[in-house]
Amino acid sequence: MKNTEIQLVQAFDEGAFLDLVNFLMREQEKTKCCIERVSAMPHQGVSSTFGFGMNYGWLRGVLDLGEISYQEIRPQIWKREFGLTSDKNKSVDVCRRLFPEVNLKRTPRCRNLDNNFAEAVLMSEYARRKL
């Protein structure tokens, strides 16, 4: 994997993520890493908020343990770079325009493009440009 590639893990696989962390540890000098600085959403259920927080903490813990430097970026900041609003379809449109080769389907059987994947790609591009 080249340091300029954008890699998406379409279905979370803990082993694949740890392989990626090991790669980043070897390539620390070239690595730019950011995670979205997030918080709980209003009206979100207790168990989903707990799970969300657990995953966020796990991600930060793995990066810290691997001594991989990262920056937390507020969604408003990186989204402004691409003129995004709360309209999730716009992130898909912008991503397809900038990265037409990236597959934004969650699985091969999906018909719809995944706005979460699109936002992950755009946030990675923001990091590449700004960090």
pLDDT along the chain (131 residues), means of 10: 45 76 82 84 81 86 86 94 92 96 91 93 92 85
Q: Report if residue 66 sits inside a domain.
A: yes
Number of domains in the chain: 2
pLDDT of residue 8: 47
Full domain range(s) for residue 65:
12-73
Q: Are residues 81 and 119 in the same domain?
A: yes
- Closest of 104, 97, 128, 127 to residue 36, by C-alpha: 127
**pLDDT at residue 58, rounded to an integer:** 87
Tell whether 68 and 117 lie within a shared domain.
Answer: no
Same domain, 67 and 93: no
Q: pLDDT at position 11, please?
A: 52
Its pTM stands at: 0.76
Residue 45: what pLDDT? 84
Residues 68 and 79 in one domain: no
Final residue belonging to a domain, choices 32, 56, 73 = 73
The answer to whether residue 3 is domain-embedded is no
Same domain? 80 vs 50 = no
Cα separations in angstroms, 44 against 33, 41, 49, 55, 76: 28, 6, 6, 16, 20
